[in-house]
Amino acid sequence: MARHAFTDRVIQTVRDIPAGKVATYGQIARLAGSPRAARQVARILHACSAKEGLPWHRVVNREGRIALKPFQGFEEQRRLLEREGIRLDSSGAIDLRRFLWLPRQP
C-alpha cells in the first residue's frame, strides 16, 4: 500500500544504498528532500525496515556509529555490515571516509 511522499522517498533512498556502503540518517533525509528530518528517517526505519525488506543496516549515525542499543539490534546490524566487508574499529565506529555512500559521484 502506498505511503506519503517523504516516507516513500526515504524507503527508496535506503534501497539505493549499495552493499558495502553506509549512509547517515541526515544524509537520507537530505536525499529524500527534507534536510532536517533525520529523526523521521529513524522513525520510518523503526516502523518499516522489516516490512519493506530494506537494507536498514546500512544506515548509521553521523559519527559512523550504530545507533541501536546492545541487545536491541546492535549485534545484528554489526553482523550484517561485517558480512559486506564493513568493519567497526576498536571504538565501534565505521570509517566513513572509506564506507560512506557518495551518491551520483563520477
Name the minimum Å distance from CB 7 to DNA.
3
What the block records as the C-alpha cell of 19 is 552493499
Residues 48-67 binding DNA (CB under 7 A) are 49, 56-57, 59, 61-63, 67
- Beta carbons of 98 and 73 less than 8 angstroms apart: no
CA distance 10 to 97: 23
- C-alpha angle with apex 34: 106 to 56, nearest 5 degrees? 70
Beta bridge partners of 93: 65
4 lines the binding site for DNA (CB under 7 A):
yes
Q: Is 3 in the site for DNA (CB under 7 A)?
A: yes
> Under the criterion CB under 7 A, does residue 31 sit at the interface with DNA?
no
φ, ψ of residue 48 to 5 degrees: the values are -125, -5
Q: Does 13 bind DNA (CB under 7 A)?
A: no
Site map for DNA, 64-103, x if CB under 7 A? ---xx----x---x--------------------------
By residue count, the chain amounts to 106
Residues that bind DNA (CB under 7 A): 3-7, 24-27, 34, 36-43, 45-47, 49, 56-57, 59, 61-63, 67-68, 73, 77
